[in-house]
C-alpha cells in the first residue's frame, strides 16, 4: 500500500507523537509499504533533533510550524497561504491508498489533510487525553463533518476513548503506542560519567508544566535528605529551562544533571538509570514508560489514566498520587534501598513490552485495520463510545 502519515509533530520536534509517527513509518516500511511522512517546515535549532541513521521513507513538508500553548503543553500548528492547495495537489499527484492523520481534529495540517483526502481509506489516530474541551463544545458541526471524513478512528489507549466519548458516539480502534525493544535494550551501554557508584534517577520529557519536572525536583530534595548516594538526571529541554534551574539551590546543583536533548543517546541514559521517574499529570499513554520498561528499569510514575493502562502498580513499578512530591520521594527511596525489587520490577517491564508493545506487533495491528477498511469486510475489534449530548470537535484545552 501507498501510505501518507500526516502530523504536526515530526522531527526536528521531539515528543511522543513524533516518536509514534516515525516508528510507525519505519515499521510499515519494513512490512513492504510505500510510506511518506507529511509535516510542516520548522527551522532546526540547537534544541531540535533529527533521527539517527539513513532515511527509509521520504518526508515532505508544507507551510510553516508555529508554537501555541494548549492542553498544558507547547503545541504546533501549520500555517501557509497555499497550504490547502499545495497539499491537495500533492495528494492528487501521489494517489495514496491510505491517508492517515495524527491528532486528526487538531488544527491545522491534519484537518486540511482530512478535507482534501482523495484516498480510498482515510484514518485518524487520537493521541491526547484531556478532561474537558471548550474547543469541542464550540465547533460542534465542524467536528461532526470531520469525524465522518475518517473511515477508521484509532486511539492509543482507553484513556483517549474516555476523553473523546464525552463528545463523540462512534467506533474506536484501540491500538497502543509501541517501542523498539532492540533499540531500548537492557544491553545498551551506559554513560560512563554516571557509573561512579551513585544510584541514578532518570527523568525524560519536554519542559512542559504537565510533565511534572517541578514535582520531580521537589521529590529529589526529599530523597537526598534520606539517601545521599544518588543523583537526578534530567533529559529534556524547553523554554521553561531557566525556571526549573532556578528551583535548584547550590547544595543540590552538583547532584542534578541537566543533559538537554540527547535523542540519539536515550537508550544509553536509560541504561545508566537505576530508577525511572515520571511525575506527569496528563498523558494518554506514556511512551517514556515503554522506553523505561523496554530498558528493564523500574518506574515511579503518577497514578493517572494513561499510565495505569501501561503499567500495573507493584509489578513494573510504583504509581503514586500526582503532584505529591513526598509520595514520589517515598516510592523512590523504597526502590533505591532495594536492589532486588528494582531488578524484579525491571524484568517485569521488559516482559510486558515484548509481549504487547513492540513496534512489530503494533504496526501489524495498524496494517490489519488498513486492510479491513480497504476490503470493508474483515473483522477488527472496536470499542463503541456512547457520548452524552451532541458531538463536538476541535483542539482540546
Among 162, 209, 228, smallest CA distance to 323 is for 209
Our CA dihedral for 140, 144, 145, 150, rounded to 10 degrees, sits at 140
CATH number for the region 2-178+359-385 comes to 3.40.50.2000
User: Tens of pLDDT along 251-290?
Assistant: 899 999 999 988 789 999 999 999 999 999 988 888 899 9
Among 117, 128, 178, smallest CA distance to 152 is for 117
Query: 3-state DSSP call for residue 258?
Result: strand
> What is the model's pLDDT at position 294?
98
Among 293, 280, 354, smallest CA distance to 321 is for 280
> What is the model's pLDDT at position 393?
34
Averaged pLDDT, 126-142: 69
Least confident segment among 27-31, 96-100, 139-143, 383-387? 383-387
Distance CA 171, CA 158 (A): 12
User: Tens of pLDDT along 294-323?
Assistant: 999 999 999 998 899 899 999 999 999 999
First to last CA, the chain: 36
248 Cβ contact partners less than 8 Å away, ≥ 6 residues apart: 217, 256
> What is the model's pLDDT at position 250?
87
Higher pLDDT, 222 or 53: 222
> What is the model's pLDDT at position 395?
35
H-type alpha helices, the chain: 16-30, 83-94, 109-116, 134-138, 140-148, 158-164, 213-226, 241-246, 250-253, 266-272, 287-294, 305-308, 325-336, 339-356, 359-375
Confidence of residue 44 (pLDDT cuts 50, 70, 90): low
User: Tens of pLDDT along 198-242?
Assistant: 999 999 998 989 999 999 999 999 999 999 999 999 999 988 999
Confidence of residue 6 (pLDDT cuts 50, 70, 90): very high
Q: Which helix (H) or strand (E) holds 63?
A: strand 59-70
Q: How many CB atoms lie within 10 A of CB 46?
A: 8
Count helices and strands (H / E) in the chain. Answer: 15, 15
Peptide bond between residue 108 and the one before it cis (omega within 30 degrees of 0): yes
The distance from CA 342 to its chain's CA centroid, rounded to whole angstroms, is: 25
Query: 3-state DSSP call for residue 110?
Result: helix
Residue 80 has pLDDT above 70, yes or no: yes
Residue 387 has pLDDT above 70, yes or no: no
Residues of the chain with CATH 3.40.50.2000: 2-178+359-385, 192-356
Least confident segment among 8-12, 16-20, 69-73, 222-226? 69-73
Averaged pLDDT, 11-26: 90
Sign of CA dihedral 383, 389, 390, 394: negative
Distance CA 126, CA 113 (A): 15
> Is domain 192-356 given the CATH code 3.40.50.2000 in the classification?
yes
Amino acid at each position: 500500500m501507498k501510505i501518507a502519515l500526516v502530523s504536526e509533530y515530526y522531527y526536528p520536534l521531539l515528543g511522543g507523537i513524533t516518536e509514534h509517527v516515525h516508528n510507525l513509518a519505519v515499521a510499515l516500511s519494513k512490512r513492504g509499504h510505500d510510506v511518506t511522512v507529511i509535516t510542516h517546515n520548522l527551522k532546526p535549532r540547537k534544541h531540535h533533533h533529527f533521527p539517527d541513521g539513513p532515511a527509509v521513507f521520504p518526508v515532505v513538508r508544507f507551510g510553516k510550524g508555529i508554537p501555541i500553548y494548549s492542553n498544558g503543553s507547547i503545541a504546533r500548528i501549520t500555517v501557509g497561504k497555499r497550504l490547502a492547495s499545495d497539499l491537495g495537489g500533492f495528494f492528487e499527484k501521489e494517489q495514496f491508498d491510505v491517508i492517515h492523520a495524527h491528532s486528526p481534529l487538531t488544527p491545522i495540517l491534519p484537518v486540511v489533510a482530512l478535507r482534501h483526502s482523495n484516498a480510498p481509506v482515510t484514518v485518524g489516530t487520537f493521541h491526547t487525553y484531556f478532561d474537558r474541551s471548550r474547543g469541542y463544545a464550540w465547533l460542534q458541526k465542524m467536528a461532526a463533518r470531520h469525524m465522518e471524513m475518517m473511515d477508521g478512528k484509532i486511539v492509543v489507549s482507553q484513556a483517549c476513548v474516555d476523553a473523546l466519548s464525552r463528545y463523540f458516539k462512534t467506533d474506536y480502534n484501540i491500538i497502543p503506542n509501541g517501542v523498539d525493544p532492540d533499540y531500548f535494550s537492557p544491553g545498551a551501554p551506559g554513560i560512563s560519567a554516571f557509573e561512579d557508584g551513585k544510584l541514578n534517577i532518570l527523568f525524560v520529557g519536554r519542559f512542559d508544566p504537565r510533565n511534572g519536572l517541578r514535582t520531580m525536583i521537589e521529590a529529589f530534595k526529599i530523597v537526598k535528605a534520606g539517601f545521599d548516594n544518588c543523583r537526578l538526571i534530567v533529559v529534556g529541554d524547553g523554554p521553561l529551562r531557566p525556571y526549573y534551574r532556578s528551583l535548584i539551590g547550590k547544595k543540590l546543583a552538583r547532584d542534578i544533571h541537566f543533559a538537554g536533548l540527547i535523542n540519539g543517546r536515550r537508550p544509553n541514559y536509560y541504561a545508566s538509570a537505576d530508577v525511572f521517574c515520571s511525575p506527569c499529570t496528563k498523558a494518554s499513554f506514556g511512551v517514556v514508560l515503554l522506553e523505561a520498561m523496554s530498558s528493564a528499569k523500574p518506574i515511579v510514575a503518577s497514578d493517572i489514566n494513561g499510565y495505569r493502562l501501561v503499567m500495573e502498580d507493584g509489578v513494573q513499578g510504583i504509581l503514586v498520587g500526582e503532584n505529591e512530591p513526598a509520595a514520589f520521594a517515598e516510592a523512590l527511596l523504597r526502590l533505591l534501598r532495594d536492589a532486588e525489587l528494582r531488578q524484579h520490577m525491571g524484568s517485569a517491564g521488559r516482559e510486558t513490552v515484548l509481549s504487547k508493545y513492540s513496534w512489530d506487533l503494533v504496526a501489524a495491528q495498524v496494517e490489519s485495520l488498513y486492510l479491513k477498511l480497504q476490503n470493508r469486510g474483515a473483522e477488527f475489534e472496536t470499542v463503541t463510545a456512547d457520548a452524552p449530548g451532541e458531538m463536538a470537535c476541535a483542539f482540546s484545552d
